[in-house]
Amino acid sequence: MKLNSEAKEIYKAIKNEIKRRIQLRESLAYLEKFSLTNNREEILRRQRYLKENLPKISEELKPLLSKIRPIRFRREYLHDRLLVVSEEEFEKAKALNICDVSLEPEEGYDLLLSTVDYGIDVELSISEIAPELYIMPLWENRETLKALASIGRIINSPSVAEEILAELRRLEKVAKRGEILENLDEIVRREEQRLNTKIEEMLKKFSLTLSGKELLEFLKELKSGNYQAIFSHFSQVENEILREIRKSEERLSKLLNLDVEVFSRDNLYPVEVSAETVELLRTELEKETKVEMYLVSREILRKIKPLLPKLKEELQRAYELEFLRAVKEFTEGFVFPEIASGGMAFINGRHLFIENPQPVSYVVGNVASFDGTSGERIVILTGANSGGKTSLLELITQIVLLTHMGLPVPAEKAWVEPLDELFFFRRKRSSYGAGAFETALKAFARALTKEGKKLILIDEFEAITEPGAAVKIIGELLKVAHEKGFYVVIVSHLGEDLKRELSFARVDGIEAEGLDENLNLIVDRQPKFGKLGKSTPELIVERLAKKKRGKEKEIFERVWRAFKESQD
Ligand SMILES: Nc1ncnc2c1ncn2[C@@H]1O[C@H](COP(=O)(O)OP(=O)(O)OP(=O)(O)O)[C@@H](O)[C@H]1O
């Protein structure tokens, strides 16, 4: 379906309404599948798809879907491992391009894998050699997996994410070790400080007990050459300190899941762990963690590998659900239009961008029959200023476009014939002179060339030329449109004159019904079919007569009386 630029603007605004409700970037692609089509079968196919799937969307899905993130399995070269293979396997192993390959074990790697009994036994496949490339993205996206599991429960289609999450739990211990590794320095320094405070306290206590009487005791022992007693007294402190050191090391060993001896025994106060020792510890821990991570990852992957294709499908399904959810949110209270032949119509249509709009029913062509209409394809829309004529043209455009997207429309009931082209010509308020007139005329004429099913909506063409000429021009152009079987709604204040020229056209009118208590015009937005819309100068006069003061008021009152007298 082809659109002119102003119709395109409305199409863009509709798409934006859906887009801004979509929480996931990946779901935007689904909107492309709903671009305009005039293929009746395709529209019906989209309607069937939405009718089947929209009811499955429930409120509670929104926060869960917002948590979904893409899970991308990495393809990286891992420098931390060496794969030792036989000569026959060498080329194949190299071709995997996943890590260094050798025929002999070599130094300098955290992990030694081998198909020929030199290290951890592996088969020649990426998932065996580098299972972390699959497991880490899953581990990092646990929130997505949890959301998928909950979504599965809601839509009654159990997710493989449940099983994957259960398996991933085995990684918790080694992941914790990874965290510890990151904070190793801080952990060791904290233990060191704790230990020194403790020793300090012990020494303080000891110096207190060594006062007075005890000192004399020592001197006596010293005189009699009994050094042993003194040594034993001091070594008692030393032992206590050593016991504290061991306790600290046990605590660290337990935390790191590795036997450690990091505090020097040479210098008991203050105890200190050298930077080198921390580095050595880090290297050892890193190596252990790598091996453990590899082994646990491999074990998990062996179990869950068959589930990964289904997981991918489920992620895609989540993107689709998010698209559907946004459509559902946008089209709440809408109906699927009947794909008809012979024009377009709707009952109680609601403008998308007017807050609390008055619902309006309308027909162009013979798809539905309302009192005062008889299948006219050319309609002249007349009526009060600010009555809602432009808004009605926009509403027709919105309903026609949504139908061609395959979406429901904001109305109680609607009928739309698939069209080849839609033209919307807005009133150019600031256009004056021959240039503007010529441009508008050319655009109108262009819309009339070429065959096909067309809807042409024109907002007040005559504003840019003299009324007399306008009747001739518009009249003739509408005759062409009529002959070609196009559908046209044209806003005009020249309804009466045009009607005289065009027997095939219908004239509808939007009317003001009076003034409200604040002297604002009360407008019935529903056009009266086949009835010229009265302009409302007498209401404007009444309004001024009631609002103004003094001399001006007198003048308006006089004019108003003249109106009333002519009505009596
Ligand atoms: N169905 C509706 N319900 C509520 N408000 C409406 C409706 N249709 C139009 N309006 C409001 O009325 C005002 C005038 O609408 P619109 O510009 O469509 O009128 P118009 O007849 O084209 O005016 P003009 O004669 O100035 O061209 C706008 O503020 C619009 O939001």
Instruction: Give the chain's mean pLDDT.
Output: 90
pLDDT of residue 256: 82
Q: Tokens 């009152």 sit at which residue?
A: 557
Average pLDDT over residues 83-103: 96
* Phi and psi, residue 410, nearest 5°: -80, 80
pLDDT of residue 207: 66
Q: Is 386 annotated as a binding residue?
A: yes
Is pLDDT above 70 for 230?
Answer: no
Query: What distance lies between CA 84 and its chain's CA centroid?
Result: 47
Query: Which of these ranges, 47-51, 77-81, 419-423, 425-429, has the smallest mean pLDDT?
Result: 425-429
pLDDT of residue 67: 97
Q: Tokens 């917002």 sit at which residue?
A: 66
Is pLDDT above 90 for 344?
Answer: yes
Average pLDDT over residues 151-174: 95
Which residue's CA is the closest to the ligand 1 atom numbered 26? Answer: 386
Q: Environment class of residue 288 by beta-carbon count within 10 Å: exposed (0-12), middle (13-18) or buried (19+)?
A: middle
Question: pLDDT above 90 covers what percent of the chain?
Answer: 61
Domain(s) labelled CATH 3.40.50.300 in the chain stretch across 2-17+335-516+525-532
Query: Which of these ranges, 105-109, 273-277, 296-300, 552-556, has the smallest mean pLDDT?
Result: 273-277
63-77: buried (b, 16+ CB within 10 Å) or exposed (e) per residue?
Answer: ebbebbeebeeeeee
Question: pLDDT above 70 covers what percent of the chain?
Answer: 96
Q: Please tell me the distance between residue 435's alpha carbon and the centre of ligand 1 in angstroms.
A: 28
Q: Where does ligand 1 bind, in terms of residues with CB under 6 Å? A: 351, 354, 357-358, 360, 385-391, 525
- For 209, the 3-state DSSP assignment is helix
Q: What global pTM score does this model have?
A: 0.84
Residue count of the chain, please give it. Answer: 568
Residue 295: half-sphere exposure toward Cβ, Cα within 13 Å: 14
**DSSP per-residue codes, 466-491:** -HHHHHHHHHHHHHHHHHTT-EEEEE
Check: complex ipTM more than 0.90: yes
Which of 348, 351, 386, 426 has most ligand 1 atoms within 8 Å of its beta carbon, as the pocket-test mutant? 386
DSSP state of 274: -
What homologous superfamily does CATH list for 2-17+335-516+525-532? P-loop containing nucleotide triphosphate hydrolases (3.40.50.300)
- For 40, the 3-state DSSP assignment is helix
Residue 78 pairs in a beta bridge with 99
Distance separating alpha carbons of residues 474 and 75, to the nearest angstrom: 66
Taking every pair of Cα atoms in the chain, the longest distance, rounded to a whole number of angstroms, is: 144
Q: At 446, which amino acid appears?
A: R
Nearest to 385 by CA among 483, 523, 288, 269: 523
Distance separating alpha carbons of residues 493 and 462, to the nearest angstrom: 8
Non-local CB neighbours of 17 within 8 Å, separated by 6+ positions? 330, 352
Q: Is 387 annotated as a binding residue?
A: yes
Is pLDDT above 70 for 468?
Answer: yes
Is pLDDT above 70 for 431?
Answer: no
Is pLDDT above 90 for 405?
Answer: yes
Angle between helices 275-304 and 161-168 (to 10 degrees): 150
Angle at 477 between CA 472 and CA 480, to 5 degrees: 130
Which of 354, 492, 534 has most ligand 1 atoms within 8 Å of its beta carbon, as the pocket-test mutant? 354
Give 80-129 as a 3 state SS string.
Answer: EEEEECCCCCHHHHHHHCCEEEECCCCCCCCEEEECCCCCEECCCCHHHH
Residue 195: half-sphere exposure toward Cβ, Cα within 13 Å: 28
pLDDT of residue 211: 64
